[in-house]
Amino acid sequence: AQTVTQSQPEMSVQEAETVTLSCTYDTSENNYYLFWYKQPPSRQMILVIRQEAYKQQNATENRFSVNFQKAAKSFSLKISDSQLGDTAMYFCAFMPDNDMRFGAGTRLTVKP
Amino acid sequence: GAVVSQHPSWVICKSGTSVKIECRSLDFQATTMFWYRQFPKQSLMLMATSNEGSKATYEQGVEKDKFLINHASLTLSTLTVTSAHPEDSSFYICSARGLGGSEQFFGPGTRLTVL
């Protein structure tokens, strides 16, 4: 079975500091996509960042970057200069084929 | 980015009745649409995948006769919860993907409460 594991149910960080959310996955596929989604209280799913497995370079989007370790099947999200608006649920997602599978999520709270 | 809408955003119904939820891709053609269910404080669980003009593929444990999915056009998919019961109360989210695309675009979700 292809699974996604987020081992941190909750995390908190001080405003302006950096936080890293972890994600591991299990697959025998070689080509796939990985995503981080943010779900604020409105519950709208917002794409934060995506990574294609065949690309070795880690994806970055402004304050958000990933550390993709394909051999270790690890896909962590680093949020730099945390802002109060970053408070939300964060879901790691894995898409080996047609379907997208989500981790259990990490609730991130940014403290002023 | 592409926009996906859902209607209604929330619905309350009586036990035993049926409820239809619509998912529309507003500015692109969605060859594949997905339906997820999210219980409070839990993750999104994939219920089914549908390709335009084809029967939906349901995940294990999801009753296809209870959750009817229709994807009759490239911009519309519907989920009908038949004979709803209180345990069907949940947040239902659809997503859509265009031909050849790898990204899924999510709707805002529908909160269903069955009394």
Residues of A with Cβ-Cβ distance to B23 under 8 angstroms: none
Interval B70-74 mean pLDDT: 89
Q: Which residues of B touch A44 (CB under 8 A)?
A: 106, 108-109
Predicted local distance difference test score (pLDDT) of residue A42 = 93
Within 8 A of B104 by CB-CB distance, chain A residues are 100
Residue of A nearest to B51 (CA): A98
pLDDT digits (tens, 9 = 90+) for B28-42: 999 999 999 999 989
Confidence category of residue B2, pLDDT binned at 50, 70, 90: confident
What pLDDT digit, counting tens, does each position of A61-87 carry? 999 999 999 999 999 999 999 999 999
* A1 band by pLDDT with thresholds 50, 70 and 90: low
Question: CA-to-CA distance for A72 and B85, rounded, in angstroms?
Answer: 43
Phi-psi domain of B21 (left: phi exceeds 0; alpha: psi -120 through 50; beta: other):
beta
Q: By the 8 A CB rule, do A13 and A82 touch?
A: yes
3 state SS of B86: helix
Q: Report how far residue A16's alpha carbon sits from residue A9's, in angstroms, rounded to the nearest whole number.
A: 22
